[in-house]
Structure 1
Amino acid sequence: MIDMSDIIKKLGAIVLAICYFPNPGMAQEATFSVIPEYPKEGDTIQLVYDIRSTPWKDATSVSANLTGYQDFQWVYDDLVFEKTDSAWVASYVVPDKMSLINLTFQADTVRDQGGEMTYSYLISGDGGRQVPGAKLGWGMLRTPHIVRGVPYVVDTAAYKTDAVLLMWVKYELQDYPQNRFKVLYAAASALKHMGTTEALGKLNTELAALDGMPDIGEDELVQVLQVYQDVLQDSAKASLVEARIRNEYPTGQYVTDQQRLADFKLVREAKTQAECARAAMDFVDKYPYTEKDRLFNEKHRISHIDAYWIIAVHTSMERDLDAFEHYVSKAEPYMALANIAYRAIYVPFEAQQLMDAAEILPYARVVMDRLNYYKDNFEREEYAQLYYSNAALFAKILVQNKLYDEAFVYAAAAQDKTEYQDADVNDTYVRVLEGQGKARELQTALEKSYALNQSSAYMLDLMKARYVTAHGSEAGYTAYLQGLKDATKSAELKEKVRQALINEAFAGFELYDQHGNLVRSADLKGKIIVLDYWASWCAPCKAAFPGMKLAVERFQDDENVLFFFIDTQERKDMKAYVTKYMEENNYPFTVLLDTDSKASKAAGVSAIPHKMVIGPDGRLRFSEVGYMGSASELADEISEMVRLLKAEE
């Protein structure tokens, strides 16, 4: 192994003056501590973050990103802290072979990396010594600028030199001389970073000696190979070492990893969708997901997540339910299901409307069954979150198939998480209750949604119809609605609109509508103009139309308020499509066709949906991108914009 003793001796007092051994009490004890003070593998420890003396002492939430060095590999976890009388606390079970942990805290908007001292702890083993890798990890943690692949998680104030890294390599070897190959990459990185003739000479001499060992194992040869490839970038010597590995260990981990990489490249390089899906199927059949391959896969961008969503999209589009079920029912890791649910269910059903509810239902059931498997069998919050984030989508599909009792399970789960703050969830939940004939629960849901201004157009129509049925007429309906409104929410909306008020030049436009009429903005001076920039391919744009329809209807008798829906960012003339779409959906919209997108670009439009309000003087007074999902809130927002401009006249 590399003899670093003479290098360390020459550095002598300089090195000793700039490094120290980090016992637990030195890791910013005033703000961070661990109970017990000397944690061991398998311990359930308390991580205590005391911020009473910090500028962010009034933080309302605290979380942390945990970076660990476990069995000579970097691992990650997220922790949520709970507030006690004196500090924020989280529990953590120290896994087997975990040698070092480091925390980066997030307190509201403040990110705290611990400064020069860091929030790091070295883990002890049963004999009292640090776990193998602890001292090596501590050296590398503070030299990510030297050792490739080390995470950048500590403050730059904590960074150390190549000499300090070598010292911690030496300390590791003093405790565990058998780890000479484990420290090779870090030691080589430090010596290469030094760049002196002496340092590089020692490195090359040692590598030659190691490579010449007759009984060297596969793992050790791979360590030598990585130094030649990544540190020295010596392709000729790397090729010789690789050939030796393949010759001596033809069925070993290295050859297996390289073959897995080659097989996944076939997925990336496929020329057609069918070829891509076939390659993905072959890949997951040959290489089932396993956690032990994760680090290699991540480094080389091998993704089971990508393979599974590619398979799911292709088989669903081909209406091959058997193949879809065969693969999706065993999809892992669990995050593959997030991509599958979005790409194979949401996009064809909601965004592009390529499959109706009856067609998509059997595919949705497969995905939800797999989500339920993770939620019911593993106690990890992210599994439950993935389930809840898709529950509303599956409820909507079931509702449209009139399977109301089954839909209720998912709709209620989604509602528990959103608490009436999501208009789309509210709409689905209301339709479920209506289908089940639960009149009292239905009325409560309608009123709660309206109070928070999170109602769909369907819900508003239903509320009115139910009121008329109950009272025999519309008399008193407006007062009834006003009584439901949350005054705080209304005030917040008005303040939001007031804050959004601007006064800028507007480029203007001359565009034809879907009926062939030329519309010039210059001819509309003296009127308030509401513009909605959208496109046929934009799902959020279309989702906002019911709310915009409510707004249009509110001002349909006001000749001084006009609405135009500008179709932009299209690849071809959309006149026929626009005319048909508006008629089929009963939207009384005047659509202007910005076929070449020049008018939109001149107005500063890029992302859509984008709504603008032009004042009577022709100047831009409001400009807002996106749609938050509530038809009633959108209509109220547009109405408040118009009200403010009218008040200025």
Structure 2
Amino acid sequence: MNASFLNSFLLLVIGSLSATAQVEFTPDKPLAGQTVRFVYTPKGTPLADDPNVQCQAMYYGSPGFMNTSRPKTVTLIRQGNTWTGELPLPERAAGVAIAFIDPKDPKKVDHNKSDFYSVAVHTTAGQPARHALGGLGLVYGGSFPYMLGADRETDKSLRYYEQEVKAYPESMEDYWPPILFAYAYERKDGYREKVRKGIEEAKAAKKEPNPNDLSLIFQLYELIGDKENAAVYQQRVIQADPKGVVAQGERAKLVQKEEDLTRKKALLLAFEKDFAGNPTYWLESLTSHVAMTFLKHNELAGLKQFIAERPDQFKNHGTLNDIAWKLAEESKGLLFAEELSKKSLVVLKAEKQPDNFILPPGMDWADYQNGQYRMYMDTYAYIVERQGRLAEAYEAYKEAIDRTPERSNPEVNERYVVCAIKAGHAAEAKQNGEAFVKAGKGTPKIKEVLRELYLKQPGNGQDADAYMAGLEAEYKAKQHEHILKSLVNEPAPAFALNDLDGNKIALADLKGKIVVVDFWATWCGPCVASFPSMQQAQAKFQRNPNVKFLFINTMEGRDEAAVLTKKVAEFIQKKQYAFTVPLDFDNKVSQAYKVEGIPTKFVIDQEGNIRYRSIGFDGNPEKTVTELATVIDILSTRPIGANK
């Protein structure tokens, strides 16, 4: 490495990897295996003056190291207005990236504007170690940013990979897969040619690709839509590793596509036999899939036998709970549903945290299990309630609801309130129902029940509207304040897409309107769950010509456009949604909007600027409607061009 390049490289690294004034690392150029101490000053960040600050750390290194690296919680000590902590660096680590959160309110986070705070391992000569840049690129392209609400930018990862390879050419052996996958996912002009060229160069550098290389090449060809080469390499992978993941995946598709129950079960038996003794994540999902097919065909006796024949495969508490809930929902085999529900609780209680299980920031294993326990108790309560055992259901629902109203599930809250009244506990139902509404975790049904209880009380007359408004006032004020603070002002990327009817939908043609954009896919459970509330939100503004809702279908799959269009159209028709659905089958629009997970919603103002974004769906339909309505009302009443 020549001196001029080294100097420019070091300047680049110092600029890229040094912390801001918020964090001071000692030493700032640690050696492998050393312990780094740091001081965090939260002034000017979302955590300023916050008494509950926690550090989330992600050690990084080579791709092989990253396969086993998991986010870690670092204990902090408060010293006045600063927080201190220690980061022991593993020998194989090339650095560590950190962020800070409030564990009691994980949405309060300081991730250094998505750049994180990082310190790189150095050599004894004072140079950044190998993987100091490439490993950080892997952090930016992984799940760590998503977990912390940071932007996961593919082009940022690419810059780090390319800088790593420039500094350490031998690192290309490690980074050609993430580089090519980044090109494929970024989908910028010429990406297919870049990926094909990269594959050819990788193949040329190897005497004989191993099964893992062949699998990566197969996936890359699939991603860029090169079906011919994908098919060739798929067969090569299966020939090289006939018991591997790719071979299992192909066989799994046969099970999933088969509609005849007898043949489906036979295909599963063949799968079990042919891949016996081979680790597979397919078997559990296929077993659950076939079990649900028994329910779909009303084969309750067959389902019982199917589960009894596979005691080892039905040890997953989530699967047991899912089947129990489905049985109860359809009022089928309630005693059997109760048996499965009880078993799910026993299995959950005995479960230990798996080594590779990643918990969200601010959550420990006990928190996770308590959340699961409440969900499964809700299932159990629902089952016994449907059997008419109201007193038992009431006691179970009391364990199912979260005693912190702000964290509670509105649907569970509703079932508890209704059951409590039926079981003769109206006063308690009223007290807790009011707490749910005040926290924004009520439902229309809970509000209806509270209104009825209020009117039954002597002397209340016709003041029910004022009573309900009083319950909602504090939450609505907080939500309005939160939304005002959350408003952004960024140019919305232009797009022009065809909708399901073949009409061209261009953002430029909607200038002067407030546009709500909802990115979704038919396979996305939270997307589908959010649609009833989105339908309510759209209906609320259907008479307003200055508000337009667009439901952009994206990340739908890799089939031909005609196949995907039919799939999406059938979904919308079946659900009878009156939605405008632009089709983003190449994912270019979702990538332009930096959509990492769906559903993601954007509100675009009259001048074509993104003013609000929301990721995910928390199961609270009323919150979604109120949130969007508040944003639209704010933008409608503000002068065009007014900043946040």
Calculate the TM-score normalised by the size of structure 1.
Answer: 0.48
Larger radius of gyration: 1
Calculate the TM-score normalised by the size of structure 2.
Answer: 0.48
